[in-house]
Amino acid sequence: MKTAQRLTLLLMMAPAILWLGVLIVLPHVEILILSFSERVAPRVYQFGFGNYLEFFTEPLYWRTFARTAIMSILVTAVTLVLAFPIALYIARVAQGRVKAMLLLLCLLPFWVSELVRTLGWMMLLRETGIISYILRMTGLADHPVELLYNDGAVILGLVYGGLLFMIVPLANALESLDPSVVEAGYDLGGSRWTVIRRIVIPHAMPGIVAGSIIVFMLTVGNFATPVLLGGKNGLWFTEQIYAQFITRFNWPQGAAFGMLLLLLSSAIVWAGLRLTGQGLGTTLRQA
C-alpha cells in the first residue's frame, strides 16, 4: 500500500521532475561547466576562470551589466507606480463586468507576439512614424523627430510589456483588503495619503513584491525589446550573451555571462525580499 502510494506520487510528479531536470537543471549545469573552460588553442580547452576575468577587465561588459541591472530596477519601479492606481481601480472600484473588461484590456496586448508588439512601438516612434508625423503636422516640430533608439524608448517598451504582470498580483492583493479596514483608516482621522501609506500599501506588500520580482526578471532577461527599440544604444546584457554564443561563437564566454546574469537577478530578488521583509513563500502564493 505504502509503496503503491509512493509509486503513484512519483509517476504523477515525473513530468514536473523531467521538466525541471532536463530543461532547467541540466542545461544550467552544462552552462556552469562550460563557463569554466578556457580556450588555450583551437579546439583545446582547460579549466580556468578566464571567462569571468574577461568580464571584469573589459569595461563594456560590466558596464552593460550594471546598466541592465539599474535600468531593470528603474523599469520595475516605473511599472509599479503606473500599475498601482490601475490595480487599485480594478480591485476596489470596478464591479462585475467592468472589472472583467478592464482585466481583459490589460491582457489584450499579450495576444500578439512580443516581437509584433515591439514592432508596433517602432511604427509609432520611428523618424517617419506616426508620432513624428503628428508632431510635424501640428507644427510642434519642423523636421522629422527620431524617438527610437534611446533609453526612453527601451524603458517605454519594457514597462508596457511588464504592466500586466504587475497589475494581476497587485489587484489580487488589494482585493483581499476588507473595505471597512480602509473606512476605519479614514474614520480615525487618516488622510487619503495616510490610509494608502499605512494601510493599503502594507496590505498589498506581498503583491507588490511578487509583481516586482516577476517584472524585474522578465525585464532583465528580455532580448527583443531593448534590441529593437534601443538599437545600437540598447546595450542590454542579453545582447552580449547572444553575441558571444551566436556571433563570436565563444560559448564558454557566453556561458559565463549567462551565469553572471542568473547571479544578478537572484541577488537583486533576494535583496528586494530582505528589504521589504517579505518571505519567498508568501510572495509566491500572491503571484
Q: List residues near other proteins by CB under 8 A.
A: 178, 180-181, 183-191, 194, 198-199, 202-203
Q: How far is the CB of 269 from other proteins (least distance, A)?
A: 23
Can you tell me the distance from the alpha carbon of 270 to that of 209, in angstroms, rounded to the nearest whole number? 11
Query: Computed from CA positions of residues 142, 148, 154, 156, in that sequence, does the dihedral angle turn out positive or negative?
Result: positive
CB 222 within 8 A of CB 158: yes
Instruction: Return the number of the residue (142 or 187) whose C-beta is nearest other proteins.
Output: 187
End-to-end CA distance of the chain: 36
Question: Taking a C-beta distance cutoff of 8 angstroms, is the pair 64, 236 a contact?
Answer: yes
Smallest gap from residue 101 Cβ to other proteins (A): 23
Smallest Cα–Cα separation from 251: which of 105, 83, 45?
45
Give every CB contact of residue 262 below 8 A, 6+ residues apart in sequence.
Answer: 28
Tell me how far, at minimum, the Cβ of 111 lies from other proteins, in Å: 37
Nearer to other proteins (CB atom), residue 108 or residue 181: 181
Element of type H or E holding 70: helix 59-88
Q: How far is the CB of 181 from other proteins (least distance, A)?
A: 5
DSSP summary character for residue 44: E
Q: Which amino acid is it at 16?
A: A
Q: Which is nearer to other proteins, 63 or 192 (CB)?
A: 192
Distance in Å, CB of 76 to other proteins, minimum: 23
Q: Minimum distance between the CB of residue 167 and other proteins, rounded to whole angstroms?
A: 22
Residue 153 has phi, psi (to 5 degrees) of -65, -40
CB 258 within 8 A of CB 241: yes
Tell me whether residue 161 or residue 207 sits nearer to other proteins (CB atom).
207
* Nearest to other proteins of 19, 186 (CB atom): 186
- Choice between 157 and 206, CB closer to other proteins: 206
Please choose, from the candidates 241, 231, 248, the residue with its C-alpha nearest in 3D space to the C-alpha of residue 264. Answer: 241
* Least gap, CB of 193 to other proteins (angstroms): 10
Any idea which residue has 516605473 for its cell?
A: 78
Between 38 and 175, whose beta carbon lies closer to other proteins?
Answer: 175
Q: Do residues 211 and 174 lie in contact, with contact meaning Cβ atoms separated by under 8 Å?
A: no
